[in-house]
Structure 1
Amino acid sequence: MATPTTLTEQLKFIQFDVANNIARITLNHAPYNVLTVPMMTELAQSIESLNGRGDIKAILVGSAQKTFSAGISLEDSKPDRVFQTLEAFNRVFAAIREISKPLIMVVNGPAIGAGSELVAFGDMVIATPQAKFAQPEVKLGVFPPFAAVMLPQLIGPKKTYELILTGEALTAEDALRLGFVNKVVPEKDLDKTVDDVLAKISEFSAPVLEVTKKVIGSSIGLPLDEAMKKSQNIYLNELMNLQDVQEGLRAVLEKRKPVWKNK
């Protein structure tokens, strides 16, 4: 696997930067961030390269264009190419699902089709009123394979039927009300809001954040009893083995801020 430094030199459609314990991935395929197979491969590689990085506390995915993403290219949607396209998108989904770092989507424009599905993969979403989210695939005679499975868990089955069967878009405020988006802020406040969220996350131990994300992600969809057992097992056998757990407890007793070792 390429290191972040060598990977950055190879990227054509993605900007990738790591600084101050934060990895920033920026979609940059002008003008509409259409998701081609090479672009999705770069996105997956960028996320995969962060596995095992103990210094990274969060990942941001945003856009350098006014459109977050207009979805899959029409060329890559043709029957003779769609298998490779789905494989590439599956790789992105797997990379996001398996990454242990909190991943935040920053959306300041339309996210259409696979672009909206990509947003759904994020752990958190911060948007502006300029954002909108749509699954218009039915207008092209197809359906969104990822959204059809993921959206019922995120916004409920009835709203999923409405969005996918009509192809109508969600406004940012609608997405916030449904829980698809965490925050909607004016464009002028977007950078500060993102920085505030990152500052809060950065206060905490990286491995504790990772274990916490693992519990939440792996429990979704499980029966309650099974999810509780999984959570307690991770708590006892993974969390309790971290040095930062002891540091956190000592800091409370000594009435001071913890000094995390990120171990």
Structure 2
Amino acid sequence: MIKMSEPQIKVKVHQNVGTVSIHRDEKRNALTRAMVFDLIQAFRDLHGEKKVRAIVLTGGGGAFCSGLCLEEMHEIVQEDDNQDRWHQDTTSLAELLQQMLQFPKPIIAAVNGPAMGFGAGLALASDIVIASPEARFGFPEPKRGIVSGLCTPLLHFRIGGSHTARLLLTGESINADRALQIGLVSEIVPNNNLWARGVDLTKQIAQSAPQAIQLTKKQLNETVGEQLEMHIALGAAASATSRTTDSAKEGLAAFVEKREPEWP
């Protein structure tokens, strides 16, 4: 008998809570191209679940999401003509972020560990972010010769220009306490209570009229954040362009070979 592999994106519905969890523990939940498509499908499936009032997005194991799979990106960067692949990939990533922003129900990111690069972007595209003390956030893309174009507008929208510039230009990672100080997360919760706290927030949300919640979210993300969608699309183009450079080729090779990059 052939043993079926466990799904890397798991969706559960319990009462009025939908849970989407990322499971690729051996790679700290780094997202492959297939997993990105599965996340998009997961939110599509939950969109039609009328009894679901909010979504809790979290990671399995000790990480939330360490970003995109750099080994997979390294394979693509070796191809002679990869512009179309990069365009397709960044378009899919932009679609996922925009889908989350336009999702009619609140999304609560329960960040149980490192959320790096696009993994941090998933938290930024959520409406409420709660974190365990083990959580860390960072945007190390420039250290790999690429840019965090998709996350930049969301980061600026959530925490402002000064903190955004520092995080993006230094590539440093910050702990949960610092993330709380700058407004990246709303509260810190012990890891074993993290999902339960997300459920508590869902219960609070469920006390309000669903249509009112939907319209409030729409106002926040499409009126106050009226240029987010355009800036994410521009960021996708910038990300795609950066992945075609010699710097990206060297940065990703250095990561795979576990050495310091020698920038061209």
Shorter-chain TM-score range: 0.7 to 0.9
Query: CA offsets, 1:136-156, max 9 Å, x none?
Result: 111111110112222122111
1:30 deviates by: 2.3
Instruction: Give secondary structure in 2 for the equivalent of 1:85.
Output: helix
Q: CA deviation at 1:63?
A: 0.9
Greater mean deviation of Cα atoms: 38-47 or 205-214: 205-214
Structure-2 residue corresponding to 1:181: 185
Which one has a bigger Cα radius of gyration?
1
| TM-score, normalised with respect to structure 1 | 0.76
Residue in 2 aligned with 1:47?
43
CA distance in 1, matches of 2:104, 2:217: 7
Q: Is the 8 A contact 1:25 1:60 kept in 2?
A: yes
Structure with larger RCO (C-alpha < 8 A, sep 6+): 2
- The 8 Å contact of residues 54 and 207 in structure 1, kept in 2 or not, is answered as no
Distance 1:21 1:192, change over 3 A: closer
3-state SS of paired residue (1:45): helix
**SS of match in other structure, 2:221:** helix
Secondary structure at the counterpart of residue 119 of structure 2:
helix
Identity over the aligned pairs, expressed in percent?
30
How far the C-alpha of 1:11 sits from its partner, in A, is 8.1
1:208: how far off? 2.2
Aligned length: 215
Matches of 1:192 and 1:53, distance apart in 2: 21
Deviations 1:122-164 (A, max 9, x none): 0000101100100011111111011222212211112111111
Query: In the TM superposition, what is the alpha-carbon distance from 1:10 to its structure 2 partner?
Result: 11
Whether the 8 Å contact between 2:137 and 2:173 is mirrored in structure 1 is: yes
Q: Which runs of 5+ in 1 are unaligned?
A: 1-8, 224-263
> Residue 92 of structure 2 aligns to a residue in which SS?
helix
1:12 maps to 2:16: no
Query: CA distance change for structure 1 residues 221 and 203 in 2, over 3 Å: closer, same or farther?
Result: closer
With over 3 angstroms needed to count, the CA separation of the structure-2 counterparts of 1:42 and 1:60, relative to structure 1, is same
1:61 paired to 2:57: yes
The alpha carbon displacement at 1:222 in A equals 4.9
Task: Sort the Cα spacing of 1:116 and 1:222 in 2 relative to 1 into closer, same or farther, 3 A.
Answer: closer
**2:164 equivalent in structure 1:** 160
TM-score, L = length of structure 2: 0.75
Amino acid in the other structure paired with 2:198: V
In structure 2, C-alpha distance between the alignment counterparts of 1:64 and 1:103, rounded to whole Å: 17
Match of 2:73 in 1: 76
1:204-219 to structure 2, matched below 5 A, reads 204-219=208-223
Contact 2:17 2:54 in 1 (8 A): yes
- Determine the structure 2 residue equivalent to 1:93: 97
2:127 to 123, 126, 140: 123
For the aligned residue pairs, the C-alpha RMSD in angstroms reads: 2.1
Structure 2: which 5+ runs fail to align? 228-264
How far, CA to CA, are the matches of 2:163 and 2:179 in structure 1?
11
Pairwise CA distance, 1:221: 3.6
